Structure 1
């Protein structure tokens, strides 16, 4: 009896080992099975990502070293006239407040700040128009510690861009990247938020081609979740190689701070505005003299309809002279099928004043073609529920 208990544990151990080996064999992929005489291949699962690559991007310091020196802080001063009030000149009233009330009728300086990007080695800087609008003095501070007063070369309120210039040598320049930006690409925002000093934040491209937001007259924004705050206005949005892909201009916010919905003007538009201002002193755009409405969708789940509806026609404007009327539905301009109001506005803006375009429209269900002579559009601004990054 004692001998039986001596070898029984060894028997149990052998049974467990045999069972484990058998379970492993059962878990192995099954050999190909022949179906109707055809040998079927074994299932092969591909990984969702390339796991053979060693490591990945762990730092964006190389891109920052390239781009950050070309991003500047902009300080502006504006003289504000103080209004006279009889009570504020009363000696008893002033003594009650310790004579801390400024003298009335004198100009007071109001300071604000923003950011900019050096885009040419001879000192030309891109920034937002609202950063330098109505400024009496503009001071640019470089990352290397140098400072210089800047003069305004030209502004474009319709895109909220402005070109200013400083007289310094050996300036770093940020190159434009005009295309190839895709949703999901990592981007970095560089600027001077709240005046704390040059700051870099990281995010991705959340969307491209954002329009019809009511921020600017001409819209084709890059949307990003990189943190952008007041003071970042006019700063750079760069890719991981240090190329300029946009100029930060606005955020969607209910509090004034970043909620992860920021907008940048694409480099392509920035370059067009820069070149036009340097050539003509202003941005020259085509114009038709109409206001537009999107096509009414009959079913929100139905297919999207192309075209825009003419809401109003300016008397004696280019469209009115060609015969366009309120209620006409514009389907196509030249060979371009119109998908939205911003699409039409941007297309016409690129046409040289005096050039002819052909518009295909519908009126009472009938197709009509109009030959329109494009005129030059005068600059104007638009109101918005979106917040152009405020000066601080």
Structure 2
């Protein structure tokens, strides 16, 4: 390294004398030269997210619906995906009410209605209703929104990317109060199906696993964003690792897809009916596009012979209301429910992808759509965790024939 020496005057022109000895002034010049690049660059503060959060908050809603009793919250979060008031949220019992309500960022309280639900993706689309207008009519709201089609075309987030989660966790916000903002890092993008038996859950596609504690009560349906405020995922529900008893914090990517196997009736060359397995791919962008138009159709499940339905052996709590939640009070020993592992205090939420709003809904659906020997998939809420259980229905037990009393002699 060549050390600069102090300049000397030569004929009125400043020049450097290569033979001049080093002085303390030389040392000062050297130190100043080395320090200059660092002094010129001001220290960078942490990137603020208040602007991003404020803009994103205007594209979110607080959702209020069914629940409010043991382990079932009556509040959640939604993402506005059209200026006309279409909202993407999580599929849950919260939506099972005719009194569904959303709160906008400016404090407006408006009713909403479910347009489409896809249990396999664990998402739903609702639409804000305006008094005096039909659900299919334009609302005229002209809301700020996330362009979902554009979001689905962006490259996915990568491991190590910083992300933001905007949710109504713990019902911290009402009316015009802002949602909660959390910052974290994408730990992995992985298939939830790889953890079947550990995380029991109906959704089996890719998820973003994040290192922030995002999946709290009320957070489901919230937005996972980039640091620029771009939508990249939908915050999921609360699920627990049944082996380690730990919670998983995740979001479903906006370009998620799942393959669903179904059995359809076809005819062979002789005209005889036969069962044929078919795989249908369901994508989040297709669900959103068709759901907003009211044209989304769920995957058709195989129809069964109508009859008395299969036997399950579940003893529900007393059915004293029109919409008594389907809580399990007991299971008959040795019954299909006992063999499948159902327990007292389980809450039956879905059966074969159909929401179970009450005990009556469960019993009616079972009687209409099942028969002995059929396998049904039941999603239950157990404590704070979700469990998916397969149960093989049995033959309804015969009622005991009363023994006639002996004739008096």
TM-score by length of 2: 0.47
Greater helix percent: which structure? 1
TM-score by length of 1: 0.49
